[in-house]
A and B are shown apart, each in its own frame.
Chain A
Amino acid sequence: MESFLAGLDSLLLYVFAFCALIGSILVVALRQPMRVATALISTMIFLGGVYGLLGVHFIAAFQVLIYVGAVMVFMVYVIMLLDPRDPAVRSRFSPLVVPGIIGGLLLAWALVHAVHGLLGNATAVPARFGLKEFSVSFLNEYWLHFELTSVLLLAAVVASLAVIKGASGRDRG
């Protein structure tokens, strides 16, 4: 049973990883922005699955909650807001297609080489950590980062309000 579950674990991991990859490629390749958004959502959900399989359930939850639930929803709203007859939809690719792809391949190769040696030895069995350990360390050791991010969010809120007020002000004027 153990080995079956372990095998299922690995299989699911491969499947999710593969699907995430397909999703990413689709993000870049699809023509209509709505479909691109859907591809991205699926990629994120598959990543969430990967996180779950790795044991960091709370991060998986955050991934779906924040990324899909807030960011991508906002994205979808905006896509729906904008005109589908936009010429950008018709011509998909920019003039820099070929250099872009070549550059991307080169970058990928360089990154793989760079990351290659960083893994170290996986012999030591790592300690598992759950939400409790995470929150304790977050609010004790990394409390400064916590406060700073709240400031950042405040700034984002203020900025959005400013943008909206400014935009509507100009409309009225």
Chain B
Amino acid sequence: MHALTLIVILPLVGFLINGLAGNKLGQKAVAVIGCGLPLVSFAITVSMFMLLMQTGEARIETVYTWATFGKTSFEIALYFDRLSAVMTLIVTGIGSLIHIYSIGYMKEDASFARFFAYLNLFLFFMLLLVLGRSLLVMFVGWEGVGLASYLLIGFWFEDPVNAKAGKKAFITNRVGDAGFLLGMFLLYNALGTLDLDRINAAFLAGPVAVSASLVGVFLFIGATGKSAQIPLHVWLPDAMAGPTPVSALIHAATMVTAGVYMIARLNGLYLHAPEASTLVAWVGAATAFFAATVAIVQTDIKKVLAYSTVSQLGFMFVALGVGAYGVAVFHLLTHAFFKACLFLGAGSVIHALSGEQDIRKMGGLAKRIPVTFWTFAIATGAIAGLPPLSGFFSKDEILWFALASERGGSVTLMVVMAVTALMTAFYMFRLLWLTFMGASRMDHEVEHHVHESPFSMTGVLMVLAALAAVGGFIPIPHFLEPIAPLPKTLESMHAYHVPLVGLAIAMGVVGLIAAAFVYRGDLALPKRLRERFSGLHALLSGKYFIDELYENMIQRPLHWISEKVFLDFGDRRLFDGTLNGMASMANASGGVLARVQTGSLHLYVLLVLIGSFLALVWSWAHG
């Protein structure tokens, strides 16, 4: 009964079939295989989940022994407990939905089969990541999703901009992975095992030979790379160069949440790492705040959503930082619902407008593409935190624990997050208004061809919108309590619990009203604001010029070293020079020795004579 292995392997099979033979099979077959196999994985996951609820014990399956060194062995094992169940359901469920959406979205693309192959490959690695029992298997999945992300961001690689974006994503991830590896090494050195459940048990049992905070910081560096937190967040906005289903699946719902999952899984370690947890919380808060500020001025529909994702991930890390691991996973779930819905809705808009992505050239679409509009609106309400939509519940919990948790909650933190929530509501409603409401600013040609997307796309949108609406009623934090206990809250703050809920709702409503006010009518007000605050606007539009900073501080010196030190000096002068030097030395000595060849027979015979004389003397001397 290798059900877990099956869950992981089926997408891999899909990858192999579609990757190797996809072009010959035809679009229909590719779609059936590409979507069918993830759906089967989802079905198996659901049945495994039922089994888990019945028996109540975690399930471990060892697939394969990877390597054995003497007494230690590394195995590829899969682990299914409540947390893995939630993650796997998200990955296979939303993954399958997005696969189905892609059938309609990528219909006219020539590389249809390659797309589905890469998507299935991504699913395979992501499932390895969430189901892996040891950090090693998780790392394989970690790297693998990075690879799949690179392949999919640069899917339309003929355009060098896309290829560059893919490279940026991969390389930035790798920088983070260095930290991940260091954390792994420290853990293995101290504990002798990389199994996640054993690591947690070891830290919970008593003091361990390595500083938990140190390990926590290193692992968090890996998480900043994968989950796009400051300072390694720069790849996510560029990653919007990939097709929209990719943005939805990888850069909203699943891959970027890998960092969150990792920290939630290792809660045993982080419970004993207060310094690391504080770092996690404040980096998350800073990221959330700054990303929200940048999102306010973005003009590309996907870039707004990208910065929004970075910001929401910041929320999740704040929750992890104050010890509310279950709440972070709850927000992960609701975020997956509404962000996927938003991205796919954006894809539907782009599809309807024949490729237009600039929101300054949209408007008045609400009546023309109603399904897209309503699903988008519901998801926007969810992300803004309007009750009773899902985002309200998860965001409210985060704000509560940011204020009141005994493990690092503070008023400052809560205020930062509340302001961010306000900004979130503002820029999301701004997006909704500029895209769907008001007068049309579209090009005439584009306006002519506006059409609603096919059912394969709108159907998925409706399912996701429904989940975004009611998903908040799924009691995830309570469900995960046995694995990730919620932190105790300060007594003094209990009085503020209900007012805080009111504050959260207020933030959402105020954001809605402000956006409606600013962006109504003929958009003269935003223009005046832009001119008034032109300096601030330039700073935000330039994304705080972090990319330029990295370019000057890191890329230029590296480039210089590469060029001047390694190429000019090392390669050309040292290596080539040495070889050429040896060759010319051989040449020179050859020239010298050639002087013996005078062509004079007399000399030759004289040399023979001398040689035989010496030979005789030598043999005489040596008996």
Contacts and interface: CB of A to CB of B under 8 A. Distances in A.
Chains A and B touch each other in the complex, with CB atoms below 8 Å apart: yes
A114 B617 CA distance: 9
Interface string A91-125: 00011100110011011001101100000000000
B616 to A, nearest CB: 4
Given A94-B602, A96-B602, A96-B603, A104 B609 contact: yes
A103 B620 contact: no
A106 B612 CA distance: 10
Contact of A111 (B603, B610, B616): B616
B606 interface: yes
A44 B380 CA distance: 123
Contact of A110 (B600, B602, B603, B620): B620
Interface residues of A, number: 13
Contacts of B617: 110
B606 A99 contact: yes
B66 interface: no
B602 A106 contact: no
B603 A107 contact: no
B620 A107 contact: no
Interface string A66-95: 000000000000000000000000000011
A110 B616 contact: yes
Interface residues of B, number: 12
Question: Interface of chain B, helix or strand or loop or mixed?
Answer: helix
Contacts of A95: 602
Contacts of A111: 616
A111 B609 CA distance: 11
Nearest to A96: B602
B603 to A, nearest CB: 7
Contacts of A104: 609
Contacts of A107: 609, 612-613, 616
B616 A103 contact: no
Contacts of B619: 114
A100 B620 contact: no
A27 B612 CA distance: 23
Contacts of B600: 94, 96
B311 to A, nearest CB: 96
A100 B602 contact: yes
Nearest to A111: B616
Contact of B613 (A94, A100, A106): A106
Nearest to B615: A110
Interface of B: 600, 602-603, 606, 609-610, 612-613, 616-617, 619-620
Given A96-B603, A106-B613, A110-B620, 18 more contacts: A94-B600, A94-B602, A96-B602, A96-B606, A100-B606, A100-B609, A103-B606, A103-B609, A103-B610, A107-B609, A107-B612, A107-B613, A107-B616, A110-B617, A111-B616, A113-B620, A114-B619, A114-B620
24 contacts: A94-B600, A94-B602, A96-B600, A96-B602, A96-B603, A96-B606, A99-B606, A100-B602, A100-B606, A100-B609, A103-B606, A103-B609, A103-B610, A103-B613, A104-B609, A106-B613, A107-B612, A107-B613, A107-B616, A110-B616, A110-B617, A110-B620, A113-B620, A114-B620
